[in-house]
C-alpha cells in the first residue's frame, strides 16, 4: 500500500496525528479527503483511513483495485468499516474526529450513525494544523517544484508575440508548464476558490474584483468563472502579472513575476520596488517565533509610508492578507493577515505576495515561496524579480 521510500515519512505523519488525538482527548480519526489520504498514505484512493490514537492504521478502499499490504480492506460501503473492526477485536471509538468542514451533510450524518460516538471533533482543523509543519521529504518536494517553476518562468519571454491577448499569452505559458512537468492542476481549500493553472492579469483587468478569495481578481472569460485573464490586448504601456502554479510535485510553490509591453509609468516601477523592499524587510526579520500578523503589518506600513496604500493589494477590492501557507493545497495555514495569531515555525512553507494595482496600467509586485528554517527563511522560487520588458 505504501511505497518503500515513503514509509519513514508516513510514519512521522501518523505519529503527529496520534499525538494530536491524544492531546485533544480523542480515540481515533477517520479521513477520506484526497489531500489527507495522500498525506497519510502517499497516494490518493477512494475510501477511508482510520487511525486510532494508539496502534496501527486501517485502510478501507473502494477504488482502485489492486492495492494491497498490511491492514488494507476492500469495502463497498462505510458500514463495513465497523464489521472489519469487530473481526479484528477492535471496539468502536467513543470519540472520533471527522472531516466536518469537508464532508457532505449526508456523509457526516452517515458516519455519525455508524460510529455513534459520545464526542465528535473536526479532523479538517486537525489536518490543516498538522500539515503546516512539513517533513524533510515534503521539503524536498518543494525544492523540486521550486526549481522547475523557476525554469518555466525563465522561458516566459519566449512565449510573447506582439499583438497577443492575455489569454493567448497564457496558453503559451501553460504549454511550457506542461512540457516542463506541470500536473496541470493545483488544489485549493474551501468553497469559492475555482481556478485552473494560475492567473494572468494585464492592464485594467487587474482592477476587476473577483468573488474568489485570491489576492487579486480579474474578470475571467465568463461570469461563471470570474477570475484571471479576460482577453485584454497586450499593448504598449501594459503591465502583465504572471501568477502561474508551481505544481511540478504534489507540493505547490507559488510565484509571481511582472512583464511589461514597452515602458510603464514611473508609479508602476516605484510600486514594484516597494514590493521588493517589503520582501527584503520580511527576509531580514522572519524566523521561528516571528508573528505572521507582523509580516502583514510590516507590508502595510511600508506601502503607507511610500504613499501607495490606495494601490496595495488591489484598488476596487483590496485583499486583507499579504501571503499564505502552501503545501498540498495552494492556500494552507498560516495566513499572513493582521488578524492572525500564528507564529512562524521551523518547517513551515509560505508565500509572500505584496502586490500593487496601478489603474489603467496593471498589477506589479512579486511573490515568492519560502521555507522557514532555524536560521530564518530560505527562498524556494528564484527567478529574476525585476520588471522584464518584452
Residues near 171 by beta carbon (within 8 Å), at least 6 away in sequence: none
Q: What was the pLDDT predicted at 355?
A: 98
C-alpha 341/C-alpha 44 separation (Å) is 32
pLDDT digits (tens, 9 = 90+) for 307-362: 999 999 999 999 999 999 999 999 999 999 999 999 999 999 999 999 999 999 99
CA–CA separation, 64 and 284 (whole Å): 48
What pLDDT sits at residue 340?
Answer: 97
Ranges of residues in the chain whose predicted pLDDT is under 70: none
| Residues paired with residue 241 on neighbouring β-strands, in sequence order | 201, 258
Using the CB atoms, write b or e for 187-200: b if 16+ within 10 Å.
Answer: bbbeeeeebbbbbb
pLDDT of the residue at 185: 86
pLDDT for the residue 194: 79
- In sequence order, the 6+-apart residues with CB closer than 8 A to the CB of 54 are 18, 22
pLDDT at 70: 87
pLDDT tens, 8-37?
999 999 999 999 999 999 999 999 999 999
The reported pTM is: 0.96
C-alpha cell at 191: 468553497
Here the cell at position 78 is: 462505510
Amino acid at each position: 500500500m505504501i511505497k518503500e521510500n515513503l514509509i519513514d515519512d508516513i510514519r512521522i505523519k501518523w505519529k503527529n496525528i496520534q499525538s494530536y488525538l491524544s492531546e485533544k482527548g480523542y480515540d481515533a480519526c477517520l479521513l477520506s479527503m484526497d489531500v489527507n489520504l495522500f498525506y497519510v498514505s502517499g497516494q490518493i484512493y477512494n475510501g477511508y483511513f482510520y487511525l486510532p490514537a494508539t496502534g496501527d492504521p486501517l485502510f478501507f478502499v473502494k477504488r482502485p483495485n489492486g492495492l494491497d499490504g498490511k491492514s488494507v480492506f476492500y469495502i463497498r460501503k462505510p458500514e463495513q468499516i465497523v464489521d472489519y473492526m469487530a473481526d479484528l477485536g477492535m471496539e468502536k471509538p467513543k470519540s472520533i474526529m471527522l472531516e466536518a468542514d469537508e464532508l457532505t451533510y449526508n456523509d457526516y450524518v452517515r458516519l455519525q450513525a455508524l460510529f455513534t460516538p459520545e464526542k465528535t471533533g473536526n479532523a479538517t482543523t486537525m489536518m490543516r494544523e498538522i500539515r503546516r509543519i512539513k517533513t524533510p521529504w515534503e521539503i524536498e518536494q518543494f525544492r523540486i517544484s521550486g526549481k522547475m517553476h523557476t525554469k518555466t518562468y525563465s522561458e516566459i519571454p519566449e512565449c510573447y508575440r506582439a499583438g497577443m491577448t492575455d489569454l493567448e499569452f497564457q496558453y503559451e505559458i501553460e504549454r511550457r508548464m506542461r512540457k516542463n512537468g506541470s500536473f496541470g492542476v493545483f488544489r485549493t481549500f474551501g468553497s469559492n476558490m475555482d481556478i485552473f493553472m494560475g492567473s494572468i492579469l494585464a492592464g485594467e483587468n487587474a482592477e476587476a474584483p473577483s468573488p474568489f478569495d485570491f489576492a487579486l481578481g480579474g474578470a475571467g472569460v465568463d461570469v461563471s468563472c470570474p477570475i484571471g485573464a479576460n482577453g485584454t490586448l497586450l499593448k504598449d504601456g501594459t503591465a502583465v502579472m504572471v501568477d502561474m502554479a508551481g505544481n511540478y510535485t504534489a507540493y505547490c510553490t507559488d510565484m509571481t513575476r511582472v512583464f511589461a509591453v514597452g515602458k510603464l509609468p514611473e508609479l508602476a516601477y516605484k510600486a514594484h520596488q516597494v514590493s521588493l523592499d517589503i520582501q527584503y524587510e520580511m527576509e531580514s526579520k522572519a524566523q521561528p517565533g516571528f508573528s505572521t500578523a507582523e509580516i502583514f503589518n510590516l507590508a502595510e506600513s511600508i506601502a503607507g509610508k511610500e504613499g501607495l496604500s490606495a494601490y496595495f493589494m488591489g484598488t476596487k477590492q483590496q485583499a486583507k492578507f499579504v501571503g499564505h501557507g502552501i503545501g498540498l493545497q495552494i492556500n494552507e495555514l498560516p495566513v499572513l493577515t493582521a488578524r492572525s495569531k500564528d507564529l512562524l515555525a521551523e518547517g513551515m512553507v509560505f508565500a509572500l505576495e505584496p502586490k500593487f494595482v496601478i489603474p489603467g496600467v496593471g498589477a506589479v509586485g512579486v511573490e515568492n515561496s519560502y521555507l522557514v528554517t532555524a536560521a530564518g527563511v530560505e527562498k524556494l522560487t528564484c527567478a529574476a524579480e525585476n520588471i522584464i520588458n518584452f
